[in-house]
Structure 1
């Protein structure tokens, strides 16, 4: 009788255990023969209690600026797919581990150090930087992707399929026709650009790599209804497009003008879960530029990680068609970690930067739930209407209706942020800071300890200049 009474509970427990085991998945992709690898790290992963699997560490390059000079450094990149819980082991092959970090810090991943190994557990897909002894230029970029739920049939006539191996593209590029799906499998390396130009209804998917030597690895131009997901590349620009979704794409560049994910004169663009580490601006929104004409509207970046080795993590405005008074509007940046910002030139500083030029009007911009780590050099916020004669033919028309909500900065390197208009006709208006925290301190108009004769902006080291109206700081 006792055995019968506990049998149902044993069956339930077994079902739960099997279900949990089924949810834990790990997929690795061996690097193809001849691929450029980096032996700074040995990377392994496993389902808890299972066998360790090797994860190939590729060679990539990043840009270090020292004393205004650019130096190309060799870093590492590895990736796998996962669901449930996965353990990761990273062996450091360059010497002794004194300290180790796994960033973004907001993920609260505390690695365990065992001699020359770093061990930690992931309970969901993440895009990470693993850093030993505070070395951010020879680090491991570790991309734990979600397990693929959709793989196209290689035999489908509308599928261009690249299996594992190194693929040299004819004339160093592939021009993708309308209606096609390009699938780059894990373990595949493309030597050449994926070009989506004057077409529609194109998908680019997979877990493969566009080699780090290929500038502008993915280029979207005058296209409509485009979906890009899962690959590693150097850059991905979107110009003259409508209805674009870019999801879980990784962009790392090291050369001059190495912007990560530009938007030029495009509408209805969504970035979701992307990772950018770039040798120029990580992500920009411009109006007329590079032969693409018109304003921009409905641009969203969410659930993403940005790292600017040079220039801005987020930059809006600057370029436009002076005679057309173009508008950039309805922009959202939500749930973002900013890992670094390094820019000595004051004109090009700002983690969250809006600079209006060329008679453009920038309005209805929302920055929300953004965590900014201790960057090396620059400003937290830069909102200016200016006449930058190097790039513009006129000052901007205005910046209006900008919300900064739930923004935090932890660090000591931020220089004075700037908010400034141009003249009485070209103003910055209606700027709201809600729950702004600097090193844990909440900045708001009635904050305790603020002398009555201080501006609230003095408490966070923001300079609010002339031709600026209605700047508020609230809880």
Structure 2
């Protein structure tokens, strides 16, 4: 790593003309002193270039992972068009193997001593594991150049370097109508509080670094989060990437996030409508995406004081697409759990599509599941779909968990059941030590109805029955089916 000054002049841009295309590379400045030393991980050295161009060193950020026993992994980021060549050197120890997650059959790795090299022809976010060491791996965020900085009186720009809130505190408070642009190399030492605002956009390739809850969206409308990176270590409980509560029309596109603290979910969505998550890359120490029907998580440290949105107390029209989740703790996709017995609510019309789950480690037996639904606290959950889901490894936990019940630990009453769930085109490698999946109800009024599994494979083998898929069917389950095309 060479220490690049955190100035606009420190931005490295390479352009190589080709026949009908251009290879461009954006390698962003390192943090300023003293953060440049404190935030660095020297486990790897990474450099990039356009084909035939000059090598550019990248800054290797330290990221903490896995709340069970926090470890130091690494992350680099850059943007490009056309082609880019990448070299990664493992600086300490020897290695026999290196692999890529998510799997990329078209990515050819070449090794020379301790250096692994490859060429990228399209953007992607992935990690390299040396000798299958998943706790000290390196995450490579190779993006397409983000949208240019907008212009206008309501645009607030943060360029390369370290930025604190204007009042000297820890919270940035955009106003309705604001656009916040975080340029590559920008590092924000504070989180965003979007309470009771409308038409706010936060965008760009900058970082929100180790600030606890990164973006709080509460009682707001028409909010867009785009392209930035969140790094949160284990210093603060409930250090989530974004809480979305009582809000309408929220879009999260291209967000990357890493967490390692207690209850440090990725995106927590509750009592909100029309929330769309696309192209997320999340490595978290709690649920990657969780959809609630409650004012806030009752056992978590953060509470809300904002009135609900005008549309509904229910949670619906939630879409999560084209994303990658790595769960060091808890679930990848979770619907339900908490509710509101005083005002019974419904979660409906929730879609997960085209998702890679790279790892799952959930050892809290009643709540295990890469794809999980739990109806408690008078909540009705219906019209939920999981499609085109690829699960790489389950250290501990279940592939599928669909339960209507009443948890003495978390609930005050039984749920109103689960209805109309479809799981389509689900592929699990079979790697790890998963426990049996479960689909079960509690009573006739707390039942599971109409669950369809279409084209489920485990280890490349088609699952034709509950027994062949290691799926336990409990009581009060009706209209269950497994089919293949």
Normalising by structure 1, what TM-score? 0.90
Structure-2 residue corresponding to 1:309: 328
Deviations 1:329-358 (Å, cap 9, x if unpaired)?
Answer: 111111110011112110121000001111
| 199, 207, 217: which one aligns with 2:214 | 217
Structure-2 residue corresponding to 1:43: 46
Structure-2 residue corresponding to 1:158: 154
User: Is the partner of 1:347 in helix, strand or coil?
Assistant: helix
Structure-2 residue corresponding to 1:178: 176
| 447, 454, 457: which one aligns with 1:434 | 454
Structure-1 residue corresponding to 2:235: none
For residues 183-222 of structure 1, what are the structure 2 equivalents within 5 Å? Answer: 183-211=181-209, 213-222=210-219
Asked if the contact 1:312–1:349 (Cα under 8 Å) also holds between the matched residues in 2, the reply is yes
Which 4+ residue blocks in structure 1 deviate beyond 6 angstroms?
none
User: Is the partner of 2:66 in helix, strand or coil?
Assistant: strand
User: Is the partner of 1:297 in helix, strand or coil?
Assistant: strand
Partners of 2:102 and 2:227 in 1: CA distance: 19
Asked if the contact 1:357–1:386 (Cα under 8 Å) also holds between the matched residues in 2, the reply is yes
| 420, 433, 441: which one aligns with 2:440 | 420
User: Is the partner of 2:199 in helix, strand or coil?
Assistant: strand
For residues 74-473 of structure 1, what are the structure 2 equivalents within 5 Å? Answer: 74-105=72-103, 108-153=106-151, 156-169=152-165, 170-211=168-209, 213-233=210-230, 234=232, 235-290=241-296, 291=304, 294-410=313-429, 411-444=431-464, 456-473=465-482
Which region of structure 1 is more displaced relative to structure 2, 315-324 or 414-423? 315-324
User: Is the partner of 1:143 in helix, strand or coil?
Assistant: strand
User: Is the partner of 1:375 in helix, strand or coil?
Assistant: strand
Asked if the contact 2:289–2:333 (Cα under 8 Å) also holds between the matched residues in 1, the reply is yes
Structure-2 residue corresponding to 1:12: none
User: Is the partner of 1:171 in helix, strand or coil?
Assistant: coil
RMSD over aligned CA atoms reads 1.5
Q: CA deviation at 1:109?
A: 2.9
For residues 57-68 of structure 1, what are the structure 2 equivalents within 5 Å? Answer: 57-63=60-66, 65=68
User: Is the partner of 2:467 in helix, strand or coil?
Assistant: helix
Asked if the contact 1:163–1:184 (Cα under 8 Å) also holds between the matched residues in 2, the reply is yes
Partners of 1:366 and 1:120 in 2: CA distance: 37
Which region of structure 1 is more displaced relative to structure 2, 53-62 or 378-387? 53-62
Structure 2 gap ranges (5+): 1-16, 233-240, 297-303
Q: CA deviation at 1:17?
A: 4.1
User: Is the partner of 1:368 in helix, strand or coil?
Assistant: strand
Which region of structure 1 is more displaced relative to structure 2, 242-251 or 97-106? 97-106
Q: CA deviation at 1:85?
A: 2.1
Partners of 2:107 and 2:353 in 1: CA distance: 21
Structure 1 gap ranges (5+): 1-15, 66-70, 445-455
Asked if the contact 1:102–1:111 (Cα under 8 Å) also holds between the matched residues in 2, the reply is no
Asked if the contact 1:28–1:55 (Cα under 8 Å) also holds between the matched residues in 2, the reply is yes
Asked if the contact 1:418–1:462 (Cα under 8 Å) also holds between the matched residues in 2, the reply is yes
Q: CA deviation at 1:181?
A: 0.6
Asked if the contact 1:44–1:89 (Cα under 8 Å) also holds between the matched residues in 2, the reply is yes
Partners of 1:106 and 1:402 in 2: CA distance: 30
Structure-2 residue corresponding to 1:33: 32
User: Is the partner of 2:468 in helix, strand or coil?
Assistant: helix
Q: CA deviation at 1:390?
A: 2.2
Q: CA deviation at 1:64?
A: 5.1
Structure-2 residue corresponding to 1:4: none
Asked if the contact 1:96–1:115 (Cα under 8 Å) also holds between the matched residues in 2, the reply is no
Deviations 1:223-254 (Å, cap 9, x if unpaired)?
Answer: 10011011111411111110011011111111
Which region of structure 1 is more displaced relative to structure 2, 284-293 or 377-386? 284-293
Partners of 2:24 and 2:449 in 1: CA distance: 50
